[in-house]
Amino acid sequence: MVFGDLRGWIDHLRKEGELQEIDVEVDWNCELGTVARKAFGTGNGPALLFNNIKGYGEKARCSRVFTGGLSRYSRVAMMFGLPKSASITELVKAARTAYAGRVAPKIVDDGPVKEVVLTGDAIDLLEFPVPKWHREDGGRYINTLQGTVTMDPDTGRLNVGVYRGMVGQKNTIPSLLWRAQNWGGDFAKWVDRDQDMPVACVLGWEPCLPFCAASPLPPDVSEFEVMGALRGAPVELVRCETVPLLVPASAEVVIEGYISNDPKTFEMEGPFGEYTGYFGGDQGPKHTIRVTAITHRKRPILRGTLEGTLPKMLNENSIMSSVQRAALAWNVLERAGVPGITDVHCPAANNGTTLIIQMRQRYRGQAKQAAMAIWGSSASHLRYKHVWVVDEDIDVHDYAALDWAFAYRVNAAEDDIIFVPGTFGSALDPSTRLPLRDTLTYGTGKWCRVLIDATVNMDFAPEAQYDGNRYPPTVKPHPQDWDLVTRRWKEYGFKD
Ligand SMILES: Cc1cc2nc3c(=O)[nH]c(=O)nc-3n(C[C@H](O)[C@H](O)[C@H](O)COP(=O)(O)O)c2cc1C
């Protein structure tokens, strides 16, 4: 679907009854984030447009904040142009198709994002109503659902990623820059050249921007090409003012700048309420964007999001992740040649930390092949710590079914639980000891990954007494018995 810009997306949401506009005054300091937390609910709340933010009246450079565009599956479906009732598996299949597609962007000379250009002393990030989302956050986080554009200096490939960043001074954004992320790969190449890395943070465009920017696509892929495939039309890009990068011409706000590897330029950042549900990325000196320009539309709308997921407290990242991480894993499995995959699911509450694969087994060791393929891919950085594999009769969206398979198809003495220690992991996961989460020293976190193979064990011999199956029959009634009893149900005296 082509929406044109953030405003086109907001209009569409309004028409579809998916938007709540908040016109009473709301404080950027903790109140806005708490409203978002309550409104996001269990993943069933509306998108939110805050029109009246304390201290940012009509005369302010920016007076509106939009959040929650993708905090409900119905709106992820709308982004894909699917019916709002589409199932999670249908959304995952749509994302798989988009990720496999490429539509090259189109470079244009000008666009609304150039309506206002600020450089030098005119730059002041706090002229924007940047929320302090949680009381314990280390500051006001401006980069929460932006797309940060960087370039591979060897190939010119433009990467777009969501990487958190806090307002430091009026022209600085200390950020979480991990070497195992794609902008981290780009950064290493700029450092090798002894040059600062140019960046451009795009805040507010069509929903495919944050969706693709938060997707761990392979390092050689430009998210702009995948956005083109997702929306079915090229993304129109304009050149930045002070960095050699390109950004969507109709974006709301673009922040341009450079990041140095000199520790003297690092500023304090963190902690931040994170996707794990805990505060993470503790306060410490971090790589810092030195802002060289801000360009924006007239009356810009700031795009941001409330991070942090807990059971029954879902948000944009968790809803998006459950689609993105399942789709990417499925594509990885297909590319690696693992046969028989019938469904893949990431429960929203853990943002893709747990991956559930449903497969039709054809030979022994297939579940292990699947887990190794997943863990060998760059998509598994920060995610897929625990991989479950189940047979086709287990509904991956039904935790009771998974629990039953875990109870009776898993036997640790039969190699059904496999540990892979010492892998890259998430530096935000508090189950990893604090010193091992130090990314300035190690580049990333550290995990022992676990496979739970909850499929029927193919090492068991088919048994004649089980009609040639490896497991006995279940207690599910035979269809002829079930049909008979269903027909006679009322005769037995039952009402329904
Ligand atoms: C709300 C939100 C915040 C995120 N914050 C960070 C972050 O601070 N650092 C990071 O490396 N990844 C963060 N991510 C995850 C990345 O966006 C994701 O891993 C993505 O694949 C990065 O792009 P890349 O694969 O091109 O590096 C965040 C994602 C979301 C949705």
> Among 150, 164, 380, which is best to mutate for testing ligand 1, by the most ligand atoms less than 8 A from CB?
164
Ligand 1 centroid – CA 3 distance (Å): 24
Write the CB contacts of 270 (distance below 8 Å, at least 6 apart in sequence): 138, 166, 176, 280, 281, 282, 283, 284, 286
Q: What is the pLDDT of residue 187?
A: 98
Q: What is the pLDDT of residue 67?
A: 98
Which amino acid would we find at residue 198? P
Q: What is the pLDDT of residue 459?
A: 96
What average pLDDT does range 261-282 have in this prediction? 97
Write the CB contacts of 35 (distance below 8 Å, at least 6 apart in sequence): 22, 26, 48, 50
Ligand 1 centroid – CA 35 distance (Å): 24
Q: What is the pLDDT of residue 463?
A: 98
Give me the percent of the chain exceeding a pLDDT of 70.
Answer: 100
182 lines ligand 1 (CB under 6 A): yes
User: Does residue 299 have a pLDDT over 90?
Assistant: yes
What the block records as the tokens of 422 is 């010492």
269 lines ligand 1 (CB under 6 A): no
161 lines ligand 1 (CB under 6 A): yes
User: Does residue 161 have a pLDDT over 90?
Assistant: yes
Q: What is the pLDDT of residue 134?
A: 98
Q: Is the dihedral of CA 262, 221, 207, 36 positive or negative?
A: negative
Write the CB contacts of 243 (distance below 8 Å, at least 6 apart in sequence): 198, 199, 200, 256, 257, 258, 292, 293
Q: What is the pLDDT of residue 212?
A: 98
> Are the C-beta atoms of residues 395 and 441 closer than 8 Å to each other?
no
Distance CA 367, CA 151 (A): 37
DSSP 374: H
CA-nearest residue for atom 11, ligand 1, is 163
pTM: 0.96
428 lines ligand 1 (CB under 6 A): no
Locus of tokens 């199956």: 469
382 lines ligand 1 (CB under 6 A): yes
Predicted confidence (pLDDT) per residue in 422-480, tens digit: 999 999 999 999 999 999 899 999 999 999 999 999 999 999 999 999 999 999 999 99
CA-nearest residue for atom 22, ligand 1, is 161
Ligand 1 centroid – CA 385 distance (Å): 16
Predicted confidence (pLDDT) per residue in 190-223, tens digit: 999 999 999 999 999 999 999 999 999 999 999 9
| Band of residue 244 on the pLDDT scale cut at 50, 70, 90 | very high
222 lines ligand 1 (CB under 6 A): no
Stated as kind and residue range, the H or E segment containing 117 is strand 116-119
Domains of the chain (ranges, CATH numbers): 316-454 (3.40.1670.10)
Predicted confidence (pLDDT) per residue in 324-334, tens digit: 999 999 999 99
Q: Average model confidence (pLDDT) for the chain? A: 97
| Band of residue 43 on the pLDDT scale cut at 50, 70, 90 | very high
Ligand 1 centroid – CA 160 distance (Å): 10
User: Does residue 496 have a pLDDT over 90?
Assistant: no
Count of alpha carbons within 13 angstroms of residue 277, beta-carbon side: 13
CA distances from 9 to 70, 125, 204, 207, 282 (A): 11, 25, 10, 7, 35
309 lines ligand 1 (CB under 6 A): no
Predicted confidence (pLDDT) per residue in 341-360, tens digit: 999 999 999 999 999 999 99
